[in-house]
Structure 1
Amino acid sequence: MARSFASSFERPSSGAAALTRVYLDYAGFSPVDPRVVAVMRPFLEGGVGNPSALHSLGLEARASLDGARAKVARLFGGAPVGVIFTASATEANNLAIKGVAQRASGRHVVTSAIEHVSVLNPCRDLEKLGYSLTYVGVDADGRVDPGAVERALRRDTAVVSIMAANGEIGTLQPVAEIGRLTRARSIPFHVDAVNAAGRVALSVDECAIDLLTLSSNDVYGPPGAGALWVRPEVKLAPIILGGGQERGYRSGTENLPAIVGMGVAAELARVERATESARLAPLRDRLLAGLLERVPGARATGALGDRRLPHHASVVVSGVKADSVLLELDLRGVAASSGSACNALTGEPSHVLRAIGCDLQAAEGSLCFTLGRWTTALEIDITLDVLPGIVERLRRLAP
């Protein structure tokens, strides 16, 4: 199932030869692993009860829910009891930021200028309620300086939220160093681990993380499920009220098929992380090097090498608009993106690119290629073959 979507398949073309479809937008949407679908299927076809019910089918459902909770927790070395299932990583980020802020005595929040909008917008909402916010800047690679975070901390700081890795430019953040600083001051530390979980080693104990956000689809699980892991001593207020599911932190009947799938996906990601990352990193480097060599005026965004996500390649290309390049790529069978799919809905210039010093013209030519479980070397070569000609043609047509 996922193979036919995510990897190469034959598609009609206007020429004599068939066109190979290439998918390089795994950060936007990851195909669900067929092994995950196989485990989910019985939960979709019936014979499963509500996890809150007292009859045998409900007890079986509860056991499956708790099993998924344990699998998700093992991905980052946390206690299973700390896992709160949500409908998305966006919801989990909102619960982390607003939930901690509402229970804390202090009214100051520290975050970075390049966080996902599902962190930044709850922070802005808190500002409207009278909270004080500090947005820590980044360097030209998009890396947060732990020293800047330390200088931003105050006696009334309620929570610090810094992502593990940026989905637009691929830069890994020094979360372990930041975690040591917040732990020394007993300030809750939230990490949005979407993009990083299952791709780089991440331990909540080693990094002194108190709250961690995870997305099901980002680890090849079904969309419609996410999780927030919370350390037991952290005080959290719910933002969705109702029947008291998920220990009262997230009311609403649990989406058991999606949660079971998320558990299987998390377990596969944990077991296969090292092998998959070792396979993808050379493909990433091959793509980045090829883009910089074959496309005049292209320059990489974000950190390089081990300080970058192993599946992520991003560049800005002068003299073209990303939307036009992406449409031309799609016509030639290559799916990529210009950065965050969530930002694409607003049509606003990327706040991440602005934060690393890109001007508006450069940001308009931002391209992002994210590799995944079914990406092949052939797909990288196809992309490198078609992209330079597209850029050259669009530059000729530009006024």
Structure 2
Amino acid sequence: MIYFDYAATTPVDKEVLETYIKANQNFFGNSTALHKLGIEAEYMYQKAKKEMFELFKLKNYEAIYTMNATEANNIALFGIARKSKTGRIITTTIEHPSVKKVMLELQKEGYDVVFLDVDEEGLISLDDLEKAMTKDTLLVSIIGVNNIAGSIQNLKEISKIVRKYPKAKLHVDLVQALGRIDIDFQDLDLFTFSSHKIYGLKGLGVLCFKSNLDLVPILFGSSVQLGLKPGTVDVPSIIANTKALKLLFQDQNRNYNYVKDLNLTLRSAIKELPILINSPKGASPYILNISLPNYNGETTQRLLEEKGFCVGTGSSCSSKTKEVEPTIYAMYKDEKRAKNSIRISFSYHNSKEDVLKLAEALKEIVHV
């Protein structure tokens, strides 16, 4: 099978896996224990965290390691919002379910939640954001790179707007952005990402936030990780995550240019076919969303699988639901186009030959 679903998950890098195995063998002690093995594990945990923040060029930030980015988003959003009993929260109509469903829950709790619409590029209007901001705004949560269409929000300008309101904090879901686009992390009050999307291990999400922020806990138990994620710290996975980040940042520009060429190759190869390209030209090259005229996304996915290709149909956390794909619908207001959409996501593991084979398979499916 030729894999084109890297936005759903990535294979573990060999060096990352080797790092994890070695750490599991050498630093298996509980990092809260006061004996030698515990102290060594705690040292390696803090070292991995310090090296991560050096990669991000950040000082005075905290990191909480969770089971996944969904949990990290929940801890971040509830943690900020519930510091106040009321207030405005601003987000978008194209967030990942782990943000959208938290927002709907906060709405039920009485918070004034504003969902900003997007244009056909998948971008919010900065004017709309400016108009939505008030002195009572507690939180703005924006996905950095959309997981369905690859749209890249203007985080620098969004941050400038949020900074005008001292009470408001900016949270960004960086799951599809980290290591793929340039980010000034200092613009963000809180951000989240997932290790398995960057060739790390499944079972590790990360929440980073400014040290002066006080988050209300939603989980209860021990006092480790500031009491926000109680339980035994998975030190080997954290060490492996930092290794994955080092490899990612080291090759970011080279990988970006390589994947951009793959994306452009596929766009060119299918431009004469009766296929709608949903991802805007300025989107992340790692994601290309398209719609075929005569098949819904699930059918196209199955037909491509029969031809030896793995592609996605939407968020990997909710791809088994029968709903109209909300991001594509929000962009184009076209139910059929949204239902027929599939997501092709690239990696440096793919070759140009893989891409041309995929284009040929799509041509066969649309009977051209």
Q: Which one of 151, 154, 159 corresponds to residue 139 of structure 2?
A: 159
Specify every segment of 5 or more residues in structure 2 that has no aligned partner in the other structure, as ranges: none
TM-superposed deviation, 1:75: 4.0
Structure 1 stretches of 5 or more lacking a match?
1-20, 394-399
**Aligned runs of 1:117-196 on 2, under 5 Å?**
117-186=97-166, 187-196=168-177
Give me the TM-score of the superposition, normalised by structure 1: 0.88
**In the superposition, relative to structure 1, how do residues 222 and 141 fare at CA in structure 2: closer, same or farther (>3 Å)?**
same
Aligned to 2:232: 253
- Which residue in 2 is equivalent to 1:266? 245
> Aligned equivalents of 2:126 and 2:61: distance in 1?
30
Closer, same or farther: CA 135–65 of 1 in aligned 2, 3 Å = same
3-state secondary structure, aligned to 1:162: strand
The alpha carbon displacement at 1:348 in A equals 1.6
Identity of aligned residues (%): 28
Match of 1:61 in 2: 41
Contact 1:210-1:231 at 8 Å conserved across structures = yes
RMSD: 1.6
Change beyond 3 A, Cα 1:246–1:47:
closer
**Among residues 231, 236, 242, which one is paired with 2:210 in the alignment?**
231
Alpha-carbon separation, structure 1, partners of 2:51 and 2:295: 45
1:197 match:
178
3-state DSSP of counterpart to 1:103: coil
| Deviation (angstroms), 1:234 | 2.0
Within 1, Cα distance between the matches of 2:320 and 2:32?
Answer: 37
Q: Deviations over 1:255-282 (max 9, x none)?
A: 2222221111111111111111111111
Question: Tell me, what secondary structure is at the counterpart of 2:114?
Answer: strand
Which residue of structure 2 lines up, in the alignment, with residue 317 of structure 1?
292
Alignment-derived partner of residue 342 in structure 2:
367
Instruction: Say whether 1:286 aligns with 2:265.
Output: yes
- Residue pair 1:212, 1:228 contacting (<8 A) in 2 also: yes
Q: What is the rounded CA distance, in whole Å, between the counterparts of 1:238 and 1:79 in structure 2?
A: 23
Question: Quick check: 1:288–1:314 contact (8 Å CA) kept in 2?
Answer: no
4+ aligned runs moved over 6 Å, structure 1: none
Alpha-carbon shift at residue 106 of structure 1 (Å)? 4.5
Output one character per residue of 1:63-119: Cα deviation in whole Å (capped at 9) or x when no partner: 221122123323433237511111111011111111000113642110011011100
In structure 2, the residue corresponding to 1:285 is in which secondary structure? Answer: helix
Deviation at 1:392, TM superposition (A): 2.3
Asked if structure 2 preserves the Cα contact closer than 8 Å seen for 1:222 and 1:261, the reply is yes
Confirm or deny: 8 A CA contact 1:48 1:61 kept in the other structure. yes
SS at match of 2:157: helix
Q: Is structure 2 residue 351 aligned with structure 1 residue 376?
A: yes
- What is the Cα deviation at residue 302 of structure 1? 2.7
Q: Return the alpha-carbon distance in structure 2 between the equivalents of residues 357 and 23 of structure 1.
A: 28
Q: Partner of 2:203: helix, strand, or coil?
A: coil
1:221 maps to a residue whose letter is G
Distance 2:55 2:327 in 1: 28
2:146–2:176 Cα contact (<8 Å) kept: yes
Residue 319 of structure 2 is aligned to residue 344 of structure 1: yes
